[in-house]
Each structure stands twice: as structure tokens, then as C-alpha cells.
Amino acid sequence: MSDAPDPEAAKAAPIAPRASRRMRGFETAAGLVACRVGELGEKRGFAVSRLLTHWAEVVGAETAARCRPVKISHSRGGFGGTLVLLTTGANAPRLEMELPAIRERVNACYGFNAVARIHLTQTAPHGFAPEPPRPAPARPVSPAVRAEAESAAAKIDDPGLAEAVARFARAYLSRKDAQNRGSP
């Protein structure tokens, strides 16, 4: 018997398509979310997602803290679109004075006169960033749990670490106590 491959067997065996390879190792966060940000931006008229992702760099940190882009709408026959910015009532007058400078900076980001008008709004039905979740109200800690947590922290010399251990012990023991009682 020879170790040479049989040419007839090679012709008969189907060749499996090569599976798409994933990157090996770490992937950048920008690479993971770029597709999703692009899709969301295109739904709101943003052909260039850089305006959304680098808003503070485009208009400046101070202006970016007072407003954010919501959408760009383009008219059928007109040149340039309308950029809608979301702001609060107190910031609207100051932003109204800065609109020409904001328009110039946004058009510099796009590289052409993409924005002809800017509209300020104080309400938007859907924004890009949801409001952060509010923390759950703190449960009252029973005196027995508090005493046990303080005794665990009393063995530690470092005051910062002792306080952290006491907080952790109170949270852990309160949760354990609530589960033993059957309440959430």
C-alpha cells in the first residue's frame, strides 16, 4: 500500500465551505458597536455616524453638554438638511446665538454644506441615550445585621477598608435575612 492520496477519492469528496473566521484575541469596542450605531444613525438621517459618536469633538465640550443631535431631515428639492438638536429650556437662548458656529462645525465634519438649518427642540420622543436607571431604594437594616457587620469590620485596621467591609456585610446580611424571611 502506498501513502499517496487517491485522486478519485479526492474528486468524490465534497469540499466544505470555509467557515468565517473570527478575530483571535480581543476585539475593539468600536468594532463591536460600529454596525449598530451606523444603523441607528441612518434611521435618523445621519449618513456619517461620526457626528453622533464624536459630538463633543465636533461642537466643543461646553456646547455638547447643553445639547445633542436627534435627527437630520432632508427636503426633496432643497440643498442641505435640517439638524434637530435636543436641549433644555434654560440652554435654548444661548444655543440660539451659537447656531451659526454649530452649523459651520457640523458642515466641516461632513465636508460639505450638509446642514442648512438647525432646529432646537426641548422634547424628543426617542433619544439616542436612555436615561440611566435609578437605584433601588435602600432597605432598612435590622440592628442585629448592623451589629454583625460592625463586628466583622472591627477586625480591620485600615479605616477605608473597614468601612467598605461593613457596607458589604450589611448588604449581604440584609439580603440573606430578607431571603430567609421570604420577602424580595
Residue 56 inside a domain? The answer is yes
Enclosing domain of residue 177: 143-181
pLDDT of residue 109: 80
Residue 2 DSSP SS3: coil
Is residue 175 in some structural domain?
yes
* 38 and 116 share one domain: yes
pLDDT, tens digit (0-9, with 9 covering 90-100), for 48-87: 566 777 888 889 999 988 888 888 877 766 677 888 888 8
What the block records as the C-alpha cell of 8 is 478519485
Mean model confidence pLDDT for the chain: 75
Q: Is residue 3 part of a domain?
A: no
Task: Read off the C-alpha cell for 36.
Answer: 449598530
Distance, CA of 175 to CA of 2 (rounded, Å)? 71
Domain count, the chain: 2
Record the cell numbers describing residue 165, joined without a space. Answer: 467591609
Q: In this structure, are 96 and 151 located in the same domain?
A: no
The pLDDT confidence band at residue 115, using thresholds 50, 70 and 90, is confident
Which pLDDT score, from 0 to 100, does residue 179 have? Answer: 72
Residues 158 and 100 grouped into a single domain: no
The cell numbers describing 37, all together, are 450605531
Query: Is the residue at 155 inside a domain?
Result: yes
Same domain, 46 and 116: yes
In-domain check, residue 14: no
**Phi/psi of residue 112, nearest 5 degrees:** -155, 180
